[in-house]
Structure 1
Amino acid sequence: MNTVAHDRHHDLVDHPRPRFAPWLMEPMLRNKSTYLKVALAAAMINIFGLITSLFTMTVYDRVVPNNAFTSLVALSIGLVIVVVFDFLLRILRAYFTDLAGADIDHDVGGRVFKRLVAIRLDQKKGSTGALTGMMRELETLRDFFASATMTALVDVPFIVVTLVFIAILGGAVVWVPLATIPVVIGAGWLTRPALDRLSAKSMSEGLSKQSVLVETVGALEMVKTSGAGRLLGRRWSRANVAHGASSTRQRLVSTIATTVAASANTLSYAGTVVAGVFLIADHKLTTGALVACSILSGRAVQPLATIAALLSRLSATRTAYKQINGMMETGSEEPGAGALRPAKFEGRIELKGVEFRYPGAAEKTLDGLNLVIPAGQRVALLGKVGSGKSTIARMILGLYPPQEGLVMIDGTDVRQFDPHAMRALIGTALQEPVLLSGSVRENIVLDREAVDDEEMLRVADLSGTHGFMGRIANGYDLQLTDRGEGLSGGQRQAISLARALAGKPQILIFDEPTSSMDQGSEAQLIARLEAELKGRTFVLITHRPALVKLVDRIVVIENGRVVQDGPRDAVLQELQRPRAAA
């Protein structure tokens, strides 16, 4: 393993993980002023709750015995004012909570998506469906921080304030809600381990279910034509049953805690009334104080009921956090402060002693490969399937780092470049052309400022895209579905080639660029590309003999090594000699 890869691995394994990662903590800390406003609003709402109980006590103890209707009017006006302020504060509390949650969601979502795009392919774990399912768990984090969670946490300290108030008003009555509080806390504490375990299991099975769904939708045509529906149907059924069972158990356990809290709330209220009756009989408590204490006893236990309900969400949130944080700590291509951002390349490519094995593979794909491509040279890489040709292209693009050796462009190790800046200077058309949903124009331009309409039309004409797009009414504004479905394979390749040629990059890497084109289209493309490729470094991977006309040199790869290398015509004669002898 090379030094850079070893250092990254050391950083991931040996360093202890922070309790909360910066990608989550920084947006939360930035919104602390908003959360302080939420806390202040929640505190005022709790104080208004105490005032309501005092109103009730005063009415029963002062107004009713004395028929003091004037005092009742004054008290009622005061209560209306309190209710209005309580209403406004609740609206503001919800607004500020959602405001902070939206900001956290935007910031965290942006950071996670950026890391997903920059994830190192050699360290990517899980299927496409599992990764998309994990990204969906961002909603779990957002719901937790943008909901009543923060409000509930603020309400908890007011349990003590409420209990003190009950003790002042009702004396010994306070022991009733005090006795129910440990019951609620105990139920939440005892169910927490099971909730953590079931949340992790439910999420894992939910990701498996998502994986089957994404795989099916993404390959629906193959599923229909090959009859794979039965196999995928069984997988979906198994995943659905497993996920349903674990989710049911998770909801059942969380229901136990919330039901205990609800029952404790009822018992607290009823117990306060029963205890208060005896205190009234002993002339130690007034009727108004009993009514006020019964109201407050319910308020004392209610925040714990909310916390109990949040415990199940907390378990799901912790599980989602662990999953997303695991991805955030996976090796990334994100450039460091000293990354090089070249304005242009001369085009010299060198692979020196490169060894590479794909994750989980038994054999090396590249084994001590050495290859030098001078700037401006056009080279074809030929070889059998699995010989390592496409891997060389991925190495040049920095998609995979070599386990040993160096991959250099213009004498600089590609790992020193900012990957985005480096790839922006390389035109790439890979073996399987993938188009994005959106217009044809967007698929060619890709929001690159340097690619205007004139350049788009130029490369569209070069690649043959204009031949079929120019005849359509909405032309380049034609909206494509996912992966360009509805277009033929040759049309998708033409658009992919236009995208690669846009901006006149000095280095071009084409991997089977015409595999889906007919011979006529291919011949026309070759004729147009001959002039376009002059003076540029061109790496071509192909099994199509016609394309070899575009290159000056042929390199034959076998078992991850160079076995033949020389001028195009000389190597072609050498390759044809065994056939002639036979």
Structure 2
Amino acid sequence: MSNEKLVPEKQPRFASWLAEPMFRNKHIYLKVALAAAMINVFGLIVSLFTMTVYDRVVPNLAFDSLTALAIGVGIVLVFDFMLRILRAYFVDIAGADIDRQIGDNVFERLMRIRMDMKRGSTGQMTGMMRELETLRDFFASASITAVVDVPFIAITLIFIGAIGGPIVWVPIVIIPFVIVAGWATHPALDRLAAKSMNGGLFKQSVLVESISSLEMVKTSGAAGLMRKRWLNAIDEHSDSSLRQRLVSTIAVTIATSANSIAYIGVVIVGVFLIAEREMTTGALVACSILAGRAVQPLTQIATLLSRISATRTAYAQINGLMSIPSEGPLGEPLHPARLNGRIELRGVDFKYPGATEKTLEDFNLTIEPGQRVAFIGRVGSGKSTLARLMLGLYQPQEGLVMIDGTDIRQFDTLGLRANIGTALQETVLLSGTVRENIALDRPHIDDTEMLRASEISGAHSFMGQITNGYDLKLADRGEGLSGGQRQSITLARALAGGPPILIFDEPTSAMDSQTENQLIDRLVDETKGKTLVLITHRTGLLRLADRIVIVDKGKVAADGPREQILAQLQRPRAAA
């Protein structure tokens, strides 16, 4: 497994999938900005309070004035406390809403991603989805409010100049150093953030692959190989993360040190100004406080820059996913309520991404409504590919795949597949109850329909004997059930709701002959009047077919009624 780079080098523009949720929350961010502005104003008031106490109250021992000032500043501090709490609350509210909207948009796009455009392993794809947390943490963090503090640097400097005169040059001289440090480290942070994220995705890929294939890893002795990959991934990720933290720490430390230097520099310069009677002690104390406040936002900005690098990289990665074309037409899709079931493939050429040879070439076939057709042929001849094309999982490079005379690319994919009952070669069940796996939260499938489909598929023969029955919780991919049981549940899911089209790819490969024969007897009646596409190597299932198509090297080698094709297949054997 290679450490594939999924993070683009160039950062994409600010896309609508992120801009729109933020725009919808603009009123919340305006409240956050207003709260941050008021907090900065209150900071100025505190410094003025300090100057007044030192210059007016202390020399005259004006305790009544002190009491009045204390009450006033106490009120300010109460409002400051409340505003800080409200600011954090508003940021969290906006972050949660943005997280939900973006998460919904990204997950919907992931479910509609074109299979031929899919890049990376399962672990890398899950890692990409995990980066939504990086975006949420950024927009739900109080660090983003540091942007509001930046304009107040100029206001603070004006206050320092008004109070202390030439002492304002101390923070003015120091601020550019902080800005240059942040600007100089930002490109390195961007590069290291991208490298660190790719390392994290590689780790995720190794971990998911190892866990999902744990049984194979154990039995085949692949644990050593996976452990080596895991350690390599850890080393690469740790190295890039360490460098990223180091560069980020340099920028933050420079900003923090600048804060202290500004404070000390103001005190030193202020002493000389006091000696020359150009400044009072209270003014010096107030200026020292304000100098720290003038540089402090830059410290937050330095921290924010390190977060921005990770956020920009996460954004670029997710935006790459969102930029992948989705299934369905570019315009308004057709929403079929009920299909008749006529399937036609006209001049279809297809090859999988990265393949050098075509899987199907100039493939032509028509299946009339209600016709039951079995596809047989050698391994790799293109039979399973036909099922994927009929389901719209892949698009042909040339030619048309049509249902009821309409190119399936014009259909809404959810509406199309709602009319097709599918049991593909790889049996996959979801975590959750057996009931959920059969009904799939489809409102038109009630318990009566679920039981009917389960009885036909044979699932009820074992589910009806379990205490918790259809509420049995399944682990990932249905672990704990036999292969035949998983296939029975998958068939019940395909039959539920009585779809007009059925596509079965090796639906009984894990069943014994007796179970298979009983299932076929039940399916004979169930499939009458429905379009059935059956892909199989097992001759027993051919009882379900009215017509057999032999596929060889991506083309139709023979096509005809079942008895005729079976007779053709028997003649070479008899001659031998």
* Alignment TM-score > 0.5, same fold: yes
Residue of structure 1 equivalent to 2:484: 490
Task: Work out whether 1:559 is the aligned partner of 2:544.
Answer: no
Q: 2: CA distance between counterparts of 1:219 and 1:254?
A: 38
Q: 2: CA distance between counterparts of 1:218 and 1:180?
A: 55
Residue of structure 2 equivalent to 1:332: 326
Residue of structure 2 equivalent to 1:235: 229
Letter in 2 for 1:459: A
Q: Does the 8 Å contact 1:349/1:408 carry over to 2?
A: yes
Residue of structure 1 equivalent to 2:514: 520
Task: Work out whether 1:301 is the aligned partner of 2:258.
Answer: no
Q: 2: CA distance between counterparts of 1:199 and 1:128?
A: 22
Q: 1: CA distance between counterparts of 2:143 and 2:458?
A: 57
Residue of structure 2 equivalent to 1:205: 199
Letter in 2 for 1:371: L
Letter in 2 for 1:42: A
Q: Does the 8 Å contact 1:105/1:142 carry over to 2?
A: yes
Q: Write the deviation string for residues 365-390 of structure 1: whole angstroms up to 9, x where unpaired.
A: 00101111111010100000000000
Q: Does the 8 Å contact 1:57/1:288 carry over to 2?
A: yes
Residue of structure 2 equivalent to 1:164: 158
Alignment of 1:66-215 (within 5 A): 66-215=60-209
Q: What TM-score comes out, normalization by structure 2 length?
A: 0.97
Describe the SS at the equivalent of 1:495.
helix
Q: Write the deviation string for residues 391-440 of structure 1: whole angstroms up to 9, x where unpaired.
A: 00011111101100111111111111111100000000000111001100
Q: Write the deviation string for residues 177-199 of structure 1: whole angstroms up to 9, x where unpaired.
A: 11110010010000011111111
Q: 2: CA distance between counterparts of 1:89 and 1:103?
A: 21
Task: Work out whether 1:377 is the aligned partner of 2:401.
Answer: no
Letter in 2 for 1:157: P
Describe the SS at the equivalent of 2:300.
helix
Q: 2: CA distance between counterparts of 1:55 and 1:316?
A: 41
Q: 2: CA distance between counterparts of 1:117 and 1:105?
A: 18
Task: Work out whether 1:59 is the aligned partner of 2:53.
Answer: yes
Shift of 1:310: 1.0
Describe the SS at the equivalent of 2:348.
strand
Describe the SS at the equivalent of 1:402.
coil
Residue of structure 2 equivalent to 1:550: 544
Q: Write the deviation string for residues 167-219 of structure 1: whole angstroms up to 9, x where unpaired.
A: 01111111111111001001000001111111111111111111000101111
Q: Does the 8 Å contact 1:342/1:422 carry over to 2?
A: yes
Shift of 1:150: 2.9
Describe the SS at the equivalent of 1:577.
helix
2:357 maps to which of 350, 353, 363? 363
Residue of structure 2 equivalent to 1:415: 409
Q: Does the 8 Å contact 2:328/2:409 carry over to 1?
A: no
Q: 1: CA distance between counterparts of 2:144 and 2:236?
A: 33
Q: What TM-score comes out, normalization by structure 1 length?
A: 0.96
Residue of structure 2 equivalent to 1:394: 388
Shift of 1:537: 0.5
Describe the SS at the equivalent of 1:109.
helix
Q: 2: CA distance between counterparts of 1:44 and 1:348?
A: 68
Task: Work out whether 1:427 is the aligned partner of 2:421.
Answer: yes
Q: 2: CA distance between counterparts of 1:412 and 1:167?
A: 75
Q: Does the 8 Å contact 2:144/2:304 carry over to 1?
A: no
Structure 2 unpaired stretches of 5+: 1-9
Describe the SS at the equivalent of 2:326.
coil
Shift of 1:455: 0.1
Shift of 1:580: 1.6
Shift of 1:226: 0.8
Identity of aligned pairs, percent? 69
Q: 2: CA distance between counterparts of 1:452 and 1:335?
A: 32
Describe the SS at the equivalent of 1:292.
helix
Residue of structure 1 equivalent to 2:247: 253
Q: 1: CA distance between counterparts of 2:130 and 2:305?
A: 20
Q: Does the 8 Å contact 2:422/2:494 carry over to 1?
A: yes
Q: 2: CA distance between counterparts of 1:569 and 1:374?
A: 19
Describe the SS at the equivalent of 1:194.
helix
Shift of 1:144: 1.1
Describe the SS at the equivalent of 1:427.
strand
2:336 maps to which of 338, 342, 356? 342
Shift of 1:479: 0.7
Q: Does the 8 Å contact 1:335/1:419 carry over to 2?
A: no
Shift of 1:512: 0.3
Letter in 1 for 2:400: L
Shift of 1:337: 4.5
Shift of 1:51: 0.5
What RMSD over aligned residues (CA atoms) do the two structures have, in Å?
Answer: 1.0
Q: Write the deviation string for residues 64-106 of structure 1: whole angstroms up to 9, x where unpaired.
A: 1111111111111111101100000001111111111111111
Residue of structure 1 equivalent to 2:217: 223
Q: 2: CA distance between counterparts of 1:101 and 1:277?
A: 47
Q: 1: CA distance between counterparts of 2:47 and 2:259?
A: 17
Q: Does the 8 Å contact 1:341/1:417 carry over to 2?
A: yes
Q: Does the 8 Å contact 1:378/1:537 carry over to 2?
A: yes
Structure 1 unpaired stretches of 5+: 1-15
Q: Give runs of ≥4 in structure 1 deviating > 3 Å.
A: 334-337
Letter in 1 for 2:475: T
Q: Does the 8 Å contact 2:11/2:312 carry over to 1?
A: no
Q: 1: CA distance between counterparts of 2:277 and 2:331?
A: 77
Describe the SS at the equivalent of 2:243.
helix
1:456 maps to which of 444, 450, 457? 450
